[in-house]
Structure 1
Amino acid sequence: MTAQHRVEFDFEIEFTNGGGIQGQGFRLDIDGDDIDDAALVDYIVRDLRLLMVGPARILGKRIIAEAHKRNRPAGGRSRAIVELSHVVADGTVTYPGLPAPRICDFLSRERSRELYAHGTEFQIASIDMVANTGTYVDSPFHRYRDGKDLAQMPAEAFADLEAVVVRADHRRVRAIDAGYFRDRELRGRAVLVHTGWDEHWTRPSYAVDHPHLTADAARYLRDCGVRLVGIDSMNIDDTRGRERPVHTLLLGAEIPIVEHLCNLVVLPDDGFRFSALPPRFAGVGTFPVRAIATLRP
């Protein structure tokens, strides 16, 4: 059996509206054999349900090999965050035929040393890319001239959505029809389609014969009143032809689409929340997002 550990420490917390509290010999169950001060402060604030918390200090911290005293979520956190976005680096190809991003310094750390006091330096990046890069969200303006752009869409269209995962293994199916979505609780939820195609990310095979939704699947999801649809594939539509019925149907109903997701394999089928927030750009219909799932304890 892996040894269990607890941390013992003192703390001082000030409140932004005045006053404060102190604790001596406070003990906390931890995973592993170490925990940083910031995580300890987060735990105290959450566990004691403190409000208006200002500066906080952890003092006299020591790790003890001792059995845990109570059950708690892994890592001492009330919720777990799962990353669902691909990393984008200089030269990463997302969609064949579109240019890869160029990422470099606008202001290098070396150059910045000439502008600031001794020991102070900064880096400012320059990014040249098309909007369809990495894991990104489509808003209605992407498809429709008079559709809402990213600045016009409300934040609640992209954030903290109750979500479900629908499994459609790419080794068994390419055209994912409405049958995959029946007998599920869909209304008012983000629907994430897990195909496993993200295993091909950055390979030439990623763009070839990828899994996609059919028009009847998009129509069914629209009629069920879903909030957002995502997929871990190169495109939510079949790109072998020139029509894009899934984009047409979903974006026409102001249902955002998130493409190029990843890590859906680790999510439960339901019981989590999904967020994929883009910047508020006017006149832009698509932009990269940091998509995450928030799991319940």
Structure 2
Amino acid sequence: MTAQHRVEFDFEIEFTNGGGIQGQGFRLDIDGDDIDDAALVDYIVRDLRLLMVGPTRILHKRIIVEAHKRNRPAGGQSRAIVELSHVIADGTITCPGMPAPHICDFLSRERSREHYVSGTEFQIASIEMVANTGTYVDSPFHRYPDGKDLAQMPADAFADLEAIVVRADHRELRAIDAGHLRGRELRGRAVLVHTGWGRYWTDPAYAVEHPFLTEDAAQYLRDCGVRLVGIDSMNIDDTRGRARPAHTILLGDGIPIVEHLCNLAALPDEGFRFSALPPRFAGVGTFPVRAIATLRS
């Protein structure tokens, strides 16, 4: 019989709405013979059914051989799909200064008829574009030469993530700081920032004075252990200057970023899952995605 393991540790947890808890000599069942701190925090939150979890610290961790005390319950299921991506068409401008995509036939239906029996035809498209087109995801390689590219990132970094929406109306504020994120259940979730800026998509105003996350907001999201951050704006950073602190902080911790989302007004604040899967390109850090929300029944 394979040996079962438990982990013993101390922990300190702060809550996003104030206060916190500590634990000494706490023990949890684990599936292997080791566990990293981030996964351990996820176990604590799930096992204790904690809400509003913010920054955490794991201390004095040790693995012991000991039989598991109970089984963990399976998760629930979801329903209904909501589209969150802009349509990419021939000539669509995403970022001023970058070329629009050129979409045409590599093999037209008319020409394909020469190769097949009567009544059979196909179209094969040719697409020429930069990777930052439409609604796209950034992986660590986009910012760091030694960061993981799209082929190296695991699929579960982009798919079927428990998610929440943070509302930050662009008519009320442009710089979204950490204070706007407190009081929410963040840890282990995809955090989608709804500013309403997506209404200006394809308008020249879309690239001007857009909403963004401040450096302390990015630090707070990182410290709270979020899985992914998305925004319905032209960029998650303030593009009026040359610094990009949100990209630097989030991608530096392996947290993907999805920019140019849309239709976030159609989502509830929570109770849904988020997916934004890119192709597995090696040597590429950014690529368009079909972003969706899956609502629970």
Could you tell me the TM-score, scaled by structure 1's length? 0.74
Q: Within the alignment, does 1:291 sit opposite 2:267 as a pair?
A: no
Residues 28-61 of structure 1 show CA distances to partners (whole Å, capped at 9, x for unaligned) of xxxxxxxxxxxxxxxxxxxxxxxxxxxxxxxxxx
Report the CA distance between 1:127 and its aligned residue.
Answer: 0.0
Report what 2:57 is aligned to. none
What residue in structure 1 maps to residue 100 of structure 2?
Answer: 100
Q: Alpha-carbon deviations, 1:138-197, whole Å to 9, x = none?
A: 000000000000000000000000000000000000000001110111000000000000
Match of 1:136, as an amino acid?
Y
The amino acid that maps onto 1:295 is L
Distance 1:295 1:95 in 2: 30
Structure 1, unmatched stretches of 5+, are 1-77
CA distance in 2, matches of 1:196, 1:165: 12
Q: Secondary structure at the match of 2:265?
A: helix
Task: Report the secondary structure of 1:206's partner residue.
Answer: helix
Aligned partners of 1:183 and 1:226: how far apart in 2? 14
**Mapped partners of 2:206, 2:185: distance in 1:** 30
Give 3-state SS (helix, strand or coil) of 1:112's partner.
Answer: helix
Corresponding residue of 2:122:
122
Q: Deviations over 1:44-103 (max 9, x none)?
A: xxxxxxxxxxxxxxxxxxxxxxxxxxxxxxxxxx71100000000000000000000000
Corresponding letter in the other structure for 1:188: G
Distance 2:184 2:241 in 1: 30
Please give the alpha-carbon distance, in whole angstroms, between the structure 1 residues aligned to 2:284 and 2:180: 32
- The one-letter amino acid paired with 2:108 is S
- Residue 220 of structure 1: aligned partner: 220
Aligned-partner residue type, residue 209 of structure 2: D
1:172 aligns with 2:206: no
What is the CA–CA distance in structure 2 between the aligned matches of 1:212 and 1:187, rounded to whole Å? 21
Aligned pairs for 1:33-44 (under 5 A) are: none
**Distance between the aligned counterparts of 2:179 and 2:100, measured in 1?**
36
User: What amino acid does structure 2 have at the position aligned with 1:128?
Assistant: E
1-structure distance, mates of 2:177, 2:227: 18
| Distance (Å, rounded) in 2 between the aligned partners of 1:292 and 1:146 | 29
- 1:238-249 residue pairs with structure 2 within 5 A? 238-249=238-249
Give the corresponding residue for 2:111.
111
Aligned residues, how many?
A: 221
SS of 2:159's equivalent in the other structure is coil
**Alignment-derived partner of residue 163 in structure 2:** 163
Following the alignment from structure 1 to structure 2, what is the Cα–Cα distance between the partners of residues 134 and 125? 18
Letter in 2 for 1:216: D
Give the Cα separation in 2 of the matches to 1:258 and 1:237: 12
Equivalent residues in 2 for 1:185-224 (5 A)?
185-224=185-224
Structure 2, unaligned runs of 5 or more: 1-77
SS in 2 for 1:152: coil
Equivalent position of 2:262 in the other structure? 262
Look up the equivalent residue of 2:104 and give its one-letter code.
Answer: C
Could you tell me which residue of structure 2 aligns to residue 18 of structure 1? none
- Higher Rg of the two aligned structures: 1
For residues 253-283 of structure 1, give each alpha carbon's deviation from its aligned partner in whole angstroms, at most 9, with x where no partner exists. 0000000000000100000000000000000
SS of alignment partner, residue 229 of structure 2: strand
Cα distance in 2, alignment partners of residues 180 and 115 from structure 1: 60
Q: Normalising by structure 2, what TM-score?
A: 0.74
Structure 1 distance, partners of 2:180, 2:294, is: 24
SS of equivalent residue, structure 1 residue 117: coil
Q: RMSD across aligned C-alpha pairs, in angstroms? A: 0.9
